[in-house]
Structure 1
């Protein structure tokens, strides 16, 4: 089947490349000529492990191509996916659907064959109804149906998530569209990936509900970590004791500096706005958003406290800037608030991240970027691990102590064993471990 993927960002590019690897003929479409030129030259606009090889293999095999021309890109496609951005709208926090609506209008004006139009972007409930209205008003004479197919990709593990999903959610009541979507995902039948067909509105809500619940788990264990520090508990033991309960599960129970990234911050906010518009207050999600926002600055204060009574003029090295490892994504990364809190306190900041420094530079103009962890730590009065990249899990602590001005390590991801670090002569603090 020919598939058109409108939008070649994180979701569109990963999804398109994976569909092509299944054997479908995929065209990725984007309005940005520079991005398309880079993709044609084999240059990825994002960092995602394995993506470059996946794209190269399928381009070479003739199954994956790129274009800026939507009309030619969707010609002959049985499924047309909308995978454009839905950022938080300035001023009110609602999801900005202008890109989705613009694509719907252009698809309607150029549709030359029957097709299922699939919203892959994360969109508020009811968006599919509006997309359908736009398509009908376009006057197209060809049969179409609008379906919702939310993505559940984790940055840093997106290819594996796509090919071995926990579930595939498809929202449509149209039997013809169900048949088309079954054909799209037929290659995953061998893996027995469960396909959940729901109404379109239910599918739209599933993504928001899932992300809000995961954000809640993260925020809950972070608050438990704060309590552990006051009463002498160990949050890692608490998390393990909870996670062994099959009703709870161990995932997303890792205490740290708060959640960030492309999904949780904007999706929880968009869900709150949808609930507000419908007169249904989501008090729990409201608390999650507030607690997470305040936690990032609190982590900055934690690093400042490690510097002693007079932090002004001292130097801190931040190891890790992206919101999580194995990505270059800086969106709502805790490091941004931490670095700002340090700067507000008159602390000099150096930093190193394996992949995120280019995107971090415009967001942290007061931060000195370094070429390695040890270069960042040179003459530092404290070193803080902010993102748990593998490169920071086995640092040479003797070397770190030698280059730093003071042996102070603040571990915001609980990467190290406290006794081992203290045995090396460091003053060590972590999250929720007394």
Structure 2
């Protein structure tokens, strides 16, 4: 089939490359000429494992192309996917649909025959209705359909998620759209991926409900971790004990510094605002958002406590800056609040991240960036593990310790066990373990 993708950002690029790999002819349009120029030359503007090879292969085989002209992309398309950004609107937390509606108006002018206009962007309930209204108002003569097809892609595992999904949710209001969407995803249905057709509004709400529920799981286990520290339990064992219950599941039960990224914070906020607009409240979601923001700020207090109560004049090493591994995404990363709080407390911060330092430097311009973990730790007063990149799971702990001024490690991702870290000479503290408390006051009085 012939498919147009409007927006060559994270979702649009992954969607376009994967659909091209299924054999469809895909044209991606984006209004950013620098991004299009880079893509045409084979340079991927984001970090996502495997995406560069996937894009290059499908471009070479003529199934995937990029341009800045929306009309060129839409010409002759059977389906047009809107995959533009929907950031939180400044001031009120609603999803900003400016780019979605701009795309809809452009599509209305460009379409010449029947096509399904598909909202792939994460949008509030009723957005598909508004997109349909706008197109119909602009082109009353046009035969078209509007569908909702929310994405469920994890940054760092997006290609796997697209090609081997838990489910494919498609919201349609007519049989023609259903037939086109079923044809697009036929290659996945052959692999027994559940293709679930719903109404458009149901599909839109499903995306928000899924992200809010996952954010709730993260926030819940983080609060249990705090309780574990008070009662002498280990949150890792608690997580395993409850996660093996198939009704609960083990994913998203790793205690840490709070959730961030491009999806969970803004989607929880948008869901709350949608509920308010419709005269109801989502008290659990409201609490999740509030508790998560408090937790990110609280991480600095853990580091300061581990350093004996003050970090003024000290240099703190941060390993990991992105909100999760296998991405360069810094949006709402817990590292941002941590760095800012440490700097406010008088500390100098040196950091290393395998992929995120270029993006981090745009936000955290007072941080000193290092070339590897050992350079980052050299001469520092404490080391903080912020993001659980695989490369941080197999560090030479003795080498780290020998290069530091003080042997303090604060593990915000529970990557290591206290036994191995303390054997290397560190004073160690982690998340949710109330059974081992290093004698950190000795540092302050030395």
Counterpart residue number, 1:39: 39
Separation (CA, whole Å) in 2 of partners of 1:390 and 1:416 = 12
Counterpart residue number, 1:150: 150
Separation (CA, whole Å) in 1 of partners of 2:193 and 2:258 = 31
Counterpart residue number, 1:353: 353
SS in 2 for 1:34: helix
Matches within 5 A, 1:249-398: 249-398=249-398
Give CA deviations for 1:131-159 in whole Å, capped at 9, x if unaligned. 00000011253310000000000000000
Separation (CA, whole Å) in 1 of partners of 2:211 and 2:116 = 26
Separation (CA, whole Å) in 2 of partners of 1:183 and 1:97 = 28
Separation (CA, whole Å) in 2 of partners of 1:238 and 1:80 = 46
Tell me the number of residue pairs that the alignment of Structure 1 and Structure 2 aligns: 434
SS in 1 for 2:387: coil
Q: Does 1:8 align with 2:2?
A: no
Separation (CA, whole Å) in 1 of partners of 2:108 and 2:382 = 57
Q: 1:160 offset after TM fit, Å?
A: 0.3
Q: 1:209 offset after TM fit, Å?
A: 0.1
Separation (CA, whole Å) in 2 of partners of 1:59 and 1:349 = 42
Separation (CA, whole Å) in 1 of partners of 2:42 and 2:310 = 50
Separation (CA, whole Å) in 2 of partners of 1:77 and 1:397 = 56
CA RMSD of aligned residues (A): 0.7
Counterpart residue number, 2:437: none
Q: 1:271 offset after TM fit, Å?
A: 0.4
SS in 2 for 1:341: helix
Separation (CA, whole Å) in 1 of partners of 2:355 and 2:76 = 38
Q: Does 1:28 align with 2:28?
A: yes
Q: 1:179 offset after TM fit, Å?
A: 0.2
Separation (CA, whole Å) in 2 of partners of 1:19 and 1:153 = 14
Separation (CA, whole Å) in 1 of partners of 2:43 and 2:330 = 20
Separation (CA, whole Å) in 2 of partners of 1:335 and 1:282 = 28
Give CA deviations for 1:137-187 in whole Å, capped at 9, x if unaligned. 112533100000000000000000000000000001210100000000011
Q: 1:309 offset after TM fit, Å?
A: 3.1
Matches within 5 A, 1:165-184: 165-184=165-184
SS in 1 for 2:49: coil
Q: 1:354 offset after TM fit, Å?
A: 0.3
Q: Does 1:51 align with 2:51?
A: yes
Matches within 5 A, 1:53-68: 53-68=53-68
SS in 1 for 2:362: helix
Q: Does 1:246 align with 2:254?
A: no
CA contact (8 A) 1:108 1:140 kept: no
Give CA deviations for 1:220-246 in whole Å, capped at 9, x if unaligned. 000000000011000011000100111
> Normalising by the residue count of structure 2, what TM-score does the alignment of the two structures yield?
0.97
CA contact (8 A) 1:215 1:259 kept: yes
Give CA deviations for 1:283-332 in whole Å, capped at 9, x if unaligned. 00000000000001111110111111332101100000000000000000
CA contact (8 A) 1:82 1:118 kept: yes
Q: 1:279 offset after TM fit, Å?
A: 1.1
Q: Does 1:134 align with 2:137?
A: no
Counterpart residue number, 2:424: 424
Counterpart residue number, 1:410: 410
Matches within 5 A, 1:174-253: 174-253=174-253
Separation (CA, whole Å) in 1 of partners of 2:292 and 2:309 = 27
Separation (CA, whole Å) in 2 of partners of 1:424 and 1:70 = 58
CA contact (8 A) 2:221 2:239 kept: yes
Separation (CA, whole Å) in 1 of partners of 2:65 and 2:366 = 40
SS in 1 for 2:236: helix
Separation (CA, whole Å) in 1 of partners of 2:304 and 2:44 = 37
CA contact (8 A) 1:111 1:140 kept: no
